[in-house]
Structure 1
Amino acid sequence: MNIKDIVNRDIVNLTNCESEPIHIPGSIQPHGFLLGIRKGSSRIEFCSANSADFIALKPEQILGKNIQDIFPEEQASGFARHAGAEHIDPAQPFVFSLDGVSFNTTVHQSGGNVIMELEPFPDGTLQLPNLYTQTRNFVSIMEKSSGLLDLCQEIADETRAITGYDRVMIYRFDPEYNGEVIAESKREDLVSFANQKYPHTDIPAQARELYIRNPLRMIADINYTPVPLLTIDDSPEKGNHSLDLSLSVLRSVSPIHIEYLKNMGIGATLTISLLQNNKLWGLIACHHYSPKILPHYTRLSALLQGHFLTSQIAVREVAEEFNIGEEVDKALVESLTILHETDNFMEACHKSDSLLKLANATGVAIFYDGTLYTNGQVPAEQELLKLFKFLSKAYPNKSFETDKLLDIYPDGSNLSKYAAGIIYHSMVSGEPDGILWMRQEKVETINWAGNPDKAVLQNEDGFRLSPRKSFERWMEIVKDKSSPWRKSEVNAASSFSYALQKHINYRVIRAQEDQNRSLNEELRLANRELANLNWISTHDLKEPLRKIQIFASKVLDREDPDLSAQVKDSVERMRFAAEKMQLLIEDILTYSKAGSMEKVFVPTDLNEVLQNVLSELRDNIEEKKAAIRADELPRLEIIPFQVHQLFVNLVSNALKFTKPDERPQIRITSSLVTGADVPAEKASTARQYRVIAFHDNGIGFEKEYENRIFDIFQRLHPAHKYPGSGIGLAICKKIMENHKGFIHATSVPGRGSVFSIYFPAK
């Protein structure tokens, strides 16, 4: 039988320790021994090399055998039931006894294997913890501790009392996983590590991942010799026999970590993970300065302390945040109240204390419409204006916060005294207008456990990098940084910024309303004057024109024999001009009525409207010998007299602008189209339109006049040949606007025109 070990012999140093496969070392610590069986089987596939130290059987006497060949049959059967359970509780180890020695056997699954880790009882007894007393002590601690740091200190003291380690520390990690000792319980003769920081390189990423998966880790003797794991080389599983020991109690430790602990002078450790939201919040780290094996149930008691603390971390942090949030909300409500009650807030109330308190800022600046408003301790005006311009370009229409402005604004080295950290909200797109909360620089002295810049050192041999050997206190001065912004402060600043933006918009709208109100008043007066002019043109001017026409006719009729031809021609021209002017006045009156008269919509059959129009124009139609054909027209809600006038104008135009040697042909069609087919920008694509089209075979017009033809007084042809005022089609356009519709014309010179009117369809 060929037996080989599965020790991972990859060379590890600090240049590659971030990727060190620490979960598959292929070896264990020697204070227990390990057996591995294939899941669903009892055949032993793995055995640690130190089995004979505990049960007087060497690995070659164990590998390939069944569990019942090694332990009494009754115990083997009990273990089969224990390992085959759906859930294996690690807090309830199985107990094997052999030759009068009892072994706590922790069991877990690893891939397709079941791992058994057997540790002898230190004194031959279970030593079950008094959970009631431990829980009662914790409740008492929880009630008397005022904050999270006080609670951590009490847990450190209690954990040391339970475990007997020389030093118990509680670490808290920052976002970069630098650890800080926030509580410590120790022997009186030891140097304190309280408040010291340890760089993130001390605990590589894959080690942090294992702390999440396995919350308890013990090293009984830093100077131990790793025990290799052995397996049968001709087992059915060929190739790589690595065994994942992530959940193992006995797993051997990275040589880099062992060297690190030796440099600290430590003899044994116990580490308990503190998790929040499946992330590593911190650790309970227990150090002993000589070897120390902690019994299984005492380890569970220590782990319970970690669970107790973990259950309170979020509660205490939320409580602290709540207390600050209450003050912030109070200041926010006060600021919003002032904002809503003051029309000119920025001018009158920008120095309100509540504006600072809502974000616990030391300074506030608002830049709006070219004016800078400041409150509290702020940089010089020119520096602030440069900062606003930079932020408006870097974060347009956005909000942003940082506790180190220099990271994003290298030109801000002179601002740290007043604005090391900022909360920024943009207010106007494309402009530097915005609001800025500022915090002064908080110069901080950090006590590192050794120089963090020398966490990686060349060793004496010069062949590889090794952990630092010095853990003497090393102080770092941190400048150009403010205290971090809390979530409640950021939210309050955001709420006020949004309210301020609404306040500014309201002021703009109200100013626009005042301006519109003034313009409306001017327009009302102008309309009154226009109404007076309309009255003069339709009444006061019509009467003199009528008299001119009468007197001209009398002169021509009565005095005709005595008048010279030149006088007759002048009087006739005068009468014709008066008649033309009267017609123009009547057309202007019609145009003004089209926009000013009451718009009463009535469901109307357009066929009836067309028949009335054709009846009214019968003489003209017969004179021109025109042929008119019409489709069946729809029934629509219209202003009847306006649509009657619309049809009159369109049919009259078709009769007027005809070719002298061709009989007029007029065709009227009806169809239903979508808004996308309407040649007008304002047409709604979401609705349908009824289109009535008037086709003629007249003289037509050039394409350039398709839109201009509807302008008032627009004439395309000589008045002596085609008489008219040039208002008719403008009236048609006004009528269609009254109906929320459109009119459009297309034409080919010499071949005719098409005038299409579009009514919104329900």
Structure 2
Amino acid sequence: MNIKDIVNRDIVNLTNCESEPIHIPGSIQPHGFLLGIRKGGSRIEFCSANSAEYIAYTPEQILGKQIREVFPEEQAAAFAVYAQKGFIDSAQPFVFELNGTPFNTTVHESGGNVIMELEPFPDGTLQLPNLYNQTRNFVSIMEKSSGLLDLCQEIADATRSITGYDRVMIYRFDHEYNGEVIAESKREDLVSFANQKYPHTDIPVQARELYIRNPLRMIADISYTPVPLLTIDDSADKGNHSLDLSLSVLRSVSPIHIEYLKNMGVGATLTISLLQNQKLWGLIACHHYSPKILPHYTRLSALLQGHFLTSQIAVREVAEEYNIGEEVDKALVEALTSLHETENFMEVSHQLPSLLKLANASGAAIFYDGVLYTNGDVPAEQDLLQLFRFLADAYPNKSFETDHLSEFYPEAKKLSKYAAGVVYHSMVSGENDGILWLRKEKVETINWAGNPDKAVLPNEDGVRLSPRKSFELWMEVVKNKSLPWRRSELNAASSFSYALQKHINYRVIRTQEDKNRALNDELKLANRELANLNWISTHDLKEPLRKIQIFASKVLDREDPDLSVQVKDSVERMRFAAEKMQMLIEDILSYSKAGSMEKVFELTDLNELLRHVLSELQDTVEEKGASVHWDTLPSLDIIPFQVHQLFVNLISNATKFVKPGVPPQINITTRIIDGTEVPNEKATPGQPYHVIAFRDNGIGFEKEYEHRIFDIFQRLHPAHKYPGTGIGLAICKKIMENHKGFIDATSVPGEGSVFSIYFPAE
């Protein structure tokens, strides 16, 4: 039987450091040994090279054997039952015993394999923790700690007491995954790491992923020699024999990380993940300055401390945010009250402390309608106007916030004294209009544990990588940044900006209403004057015209021999002109009434209405020899007298504009169509319409007049041949507008015309 190891021997260099496969090292730490079987089976496929040190069986004696051939059969049978449960509860490892030595056996699945990691009891006992006392102690800590940092310090002290490590740190990540030590419990003789920062390169992406998947990680001896994992070399099996040890307790460590810890002088570590919303919030990092193996159940007690702290992180952060949010909300209410109660808010905005407090800003500025209004400490006016122009161009109709303005706007470096950080909301009222909250520069000195720019360096050979060797305090001064904006402050700024925009819109609307009211008054006056003109037209003008007609008729009726033919012709023309003017006045009055009279709608049978119209036009119809045929018309909600006039006008036109010697034929049809078929852009798609078409065989007209004929005073034919005023079809159009409908016409010269009217259906 040939045996091979599965050790990953890839060298980490400058090109692959971000993808170092730390989850498949192919080796383990030596404070236990590892066996691997196929899922659902019991044949041992993998074995660590140190098995003989614990159970006196070499890998050659173990690989390919069944578990029952290595361990007592009753234990193998019990393990089979344990394995069927899916080893859900890692807090209760299976216990194998061989040659009088018990082994805590933690089990997990890895791909199609089941990984068994066996650790001997250090002192032959289970060392179960006192969970009651531990929980009671945490509750006491939780009650007496006033804030998150106090709680972290208490957890650090308690974790060190439980585990016995020389140093325990609570390590919090920022948004870039740089870490900061926010709490520390240590031996008195050790140098403090409190408040020191560590660059994100200290814990690369793949390591952070493993911390999320496996929340507890122990390195018992930094100077250990990795133990290779072995498997049977089956030449027929071409598969990948690497093992994913992401969830492993014994997994070997990246050489770079080992070198990093050696450079720090550390001998052993324990790391516990602190998660929030499935993201790595921080770590509990335990350091010992000599090798240290922590028993399984003591490790679980330390992990429980991490769970305790994790359960409180969100609560404490929310509580701190709530306290700030209360003050912010109070200031927001004051600012909104002032906004609603002040007629010209812009003029008094510079006097409102609440405008700054609602975002905890050091300055604020509003640019509106070409005028700049400021509050608090702000840059010079020209610099502010330039900043508003930049923000309006870069973020049109948007909001923007940053605590490092110079990253986006290089000119901001000279403004950092006033505006290192900003919150901006654009306003749609005008060009460059917006509101801006400003924060002063907060110069910060960061204490890095070593130079962050030299966290990972090429080795002396120029190929491999090495971590930094110096962890001496390296101070960095950060400028041009403000304190970060909190969510409650951003929300308050957004709420006020929205209210301000509404306030401005309201003022614009009210100003427009005032203008409209003045125009409306002028329109009423003009309507009254127009009504007077209508009165004059219908009464004062009718009487003189009537007298002109009477006297002209008398002159002609007398047939005075003294009157010449020329005089008689002139009088006849005068009488005809008076009649034409009277007809024009009456049509103008009808057009005016069509738009101004009260619109009372009634459900009306159009068939009955059409019969009344034909009865009224009977003399004309008989005189012209006209024939009228119609479909059964619907009953519609209409203004009866107006539709009566509409039908009169359409049928009269059909009997007026006829070809000589050809009797008029009028066909009236009806159907229902969708709004998309109505030849008018104002028709509503999806709305059904009743279309009633009046088709005649008259003289017709050119296509270019299809729309113009509905304009007032528009005539297509000479008055002496086809009498009329050119107002009739304009009245028809007005009547259809009163019914929220439409009218159109199509025609072929010499063949006739079709006038279609469209009524909205219920």
In which range does the TM-score fall when normalised by the shorter chain? over 0.9
Contact 1:396 1:430 in 2 (8 A): no
Other-structure match for 1:66: 66
Deviations 1:210-251 (A, max 9, x none): 111111111111111111111222398653221121111111
Q: Give the letter aligned to residue 389 of structure 1.
A: R
| Higher alpha-carbon deviation: 468-477 or 613-622 | 613-622
Shift of 1:174: 1.0
Matched, 1:590 2:578: no
**Aligned counterparts of 1:745 and 1:83: Cα–Cα separation in 2:** 88
Does the CA contact (< 8 Å) of 1:149 and 1:182 recur in 2?
Answer: yes
Letter of the structure 2 residue corresponding to residue 641 of structure 1: F
Shift in alpha-carbon separation, 1:167–1:152, aligned structure 2, 3 A:
same
Structure 2 match to 1:671: 671
Question: What is the match of residue 139 of structure 2?
Answer: 139
- Is 1:419–1:440's contact at 8 Å kept on the other side of the alignment? yes
Distance 1:643 1:671 in 2: 18
Q: Tell me, in whole angstroms, the C-alpha distance in 2 between the residues paired with 1:236 and 1:171.
A: 49
Distance 2:101 2:609 in 1: 115
Q: Deviations over 1:273-303 (max 9, x none)?
A: 1111111110111111111111222211111
Q: Distance in 2 between matches of 1:391 and 1:690?
A: 55
Task: Tell me what 2:260 maps to.
Answer: 260
Change (3 A) 1:642 1:655: same
The answer to whether the Cα contact below 8 Å between 2:11 and 2:464 also exists between their aligned partners in 1 is: no
Cα drift, residue 413 of structure 1:
2.5
| Partner Cα separation in structure 2 for residue 41 and residue 593 of structure 1 | 99
Task: Name the counterpart of 2:393.
Answer: 393
Secondary structure class of the residue paired with 1:413 = helix
Q: SS at the partner of 2:329?
A: helix
Query: For structure 1, which segment, 149-158 or 383-392, has the greater mean C-alpha deviation from structure 2 after superposition?
Result: 383-392
Matched AA of 1:94: F
Give the aligned partner of residue 356 of structure 2.
356
CA–CA distance in structure 2, aligned partners of residues 309 and 81 of structure 1: 35
What secondary structure does 2:572 align onto?
helix
Indicate the residue corresponding to 1:653 in structure 2: 653
- What is the aligned partner in structure 1 of residue 330 from structure 2? 330
Residues 272 and 284 of structure 2 are in contact (CA less than 8 Å); yes or no, is this contact kept in structure 1?
yes
1:437 matched to 2:437? The reply is yes
Q: Which residue of 2 is the match for residue 641 of structure 1? A: 641
Give 5+ residue unaligned stretches, structure 2.
none
3-state secondary structure, aligned to 2:283 = strand
Cα 1:330–1:171 change in 2 (3 A) is same
Contact 1:166 1:187 in 2 (8 A): yes
What is the correspondence of 1:411-450 to structure 2 with a 5 Å cutoff?
411-428=411-428, 431-450=431-450
Q: Compared with structure 1, are the counterparts of its residues 87 and 63 closer, same or farther at alpha carbon in structure 2 (3 Å cutoff)?
A: closer
Displacement of 1:593 in angstroms is 1.5
Q: What is the alpha-carbon distance in structure 1 between the residues aligned to residue 760 and residue 80 of structure 2?
A: 84
Measure, in 2, the Cα distance between the counterparts of 1:38 and 1:588: 101
Identity over aligned pairs, percent:
84
By how many angstroms is 1:601 displaced? 1.4
CA distance in 1, matches of 2:46, 2:235: 10
Deviations 1:688-723 (A, max 9, x none): 111121222222222222222111111222122222
Rounded to whole Å, the distance in 2 between the matches of 1:759 and 1:117 is 86
What corresponds to 2:248 in structure 1? 248
AA at the equivalent of 2:476: E
Which whole-Å CA distance do the structure 2 matches of 1:371 and 1:30 have between them?
74
Aligned-pair distance for 1:465?
2.5
Match of 1:154 in 2: 154
Secondary structure, in 3 states, of the residue corresponding to 1:415?
helix
Contact kept in structure 2, 1:14 and 1:466, CA below 8 Å: no
Q: Give me the whole-angstrom Cα distance separating, in 2, the residues matched to 1:520 and 1:174.
A: 62
Partner of 1:187: 187
Which residue is 2:408 aligned to?
408
Q: Corresponding residue for 2:226? A: 226
Distance 2:671 2:83 in 1: 83
CA offsets 1:286-333 (integer angstroms, 9 cap, x no match):
111111111222211111111111111111111111111111111112
1:112 maps to: 112
- Partner secondary structure for residue 684 of structure 1: coil
2:359/2:437 contact within 8 Å kept: yes
The answer to whether 1:37 aligns with 2:37 is yes
Contact 1:443 1:480 in 2 (8 A): yes
User: 2:753 — aligned with what?
Assistant: 753
Give the match's secondary structure for 2:105. strand
SS for the counterpart of 1:560 is: coil
CA contact (8 A) 2:121 2:295 kept: yes
Count of residues paired in the alignment:
762
The aligned residue for residue 542 of structure 2 is 542
2:414 partner SS: coil
For the structure 1 residues 308 and 722, does the alpha-carbon distance in structure 2 shift closer, same or farther, using more than 3 Å as the test? same
| AA partner of residue 527 (structure 2) | N
Query: Are the equivalent residues in 1 in contact too, given 2:166–2:287 (CA < 8 A)?
Result: yes
The one-letter code sitting in structure 1 at the alignment partner of 2:694 is F
Matched residue of 1:400: which SS?
A: strand
Q: Work out the CA distance in 2 between the residues paired with 1:15 and 1:320.
A: 43
Give the Cα separation in 2 of the matches to 1:750 and 1:417: 86
Deviates more, 1:365-374 or 1:342-351: 342-351
Question: TM-score, normalized by length of structure 2?
Answer: 0.97
Counterpart AA for 1:397: N
How far residue 14 of structure 1 moved from its aligned partner, in angstroms, is 5.0
For 1:548, give the aligned amino acid: I
Deviation at 1:546, TM superposition (A): 0.9
Within 5 A, what are the aligned runs for 1:7-26?
A: 7-26=7-26
Partner of 2:382: 382
Deviation at 1:172, TM superposition (A): 0.4
d(CA) in 2 for partners of 1:23, 1:441:
43
Structure 2 Cα separation of the partners of residues 630 and 585 of structure 1: 33
Work out whether residues 701 and 748 of structure 2, in 8 Å CA contact, stay in contact via their aligned partners in 1: yes
Residue 634 of structure 1 aligns to which amino acid in structure 2? P
Partner AA of 1:404 in structure 2: H
Corresponding residue for residue 461 of structure 2 = 461
SS across alignment from 1:584: helix
Alpha-carbon distance in 1 for matches of 2:167, 2:78: 40
Note closer, same or farther for the CA distance 1:612–1:463 as it changes in structure 2 (3 Å cut).
Answer: closer
* Paired residues of 1:88 and 1:107 also in contact (CA < 8 A): no
Cα deviation for residue 13 of structure 1 reads 3.2
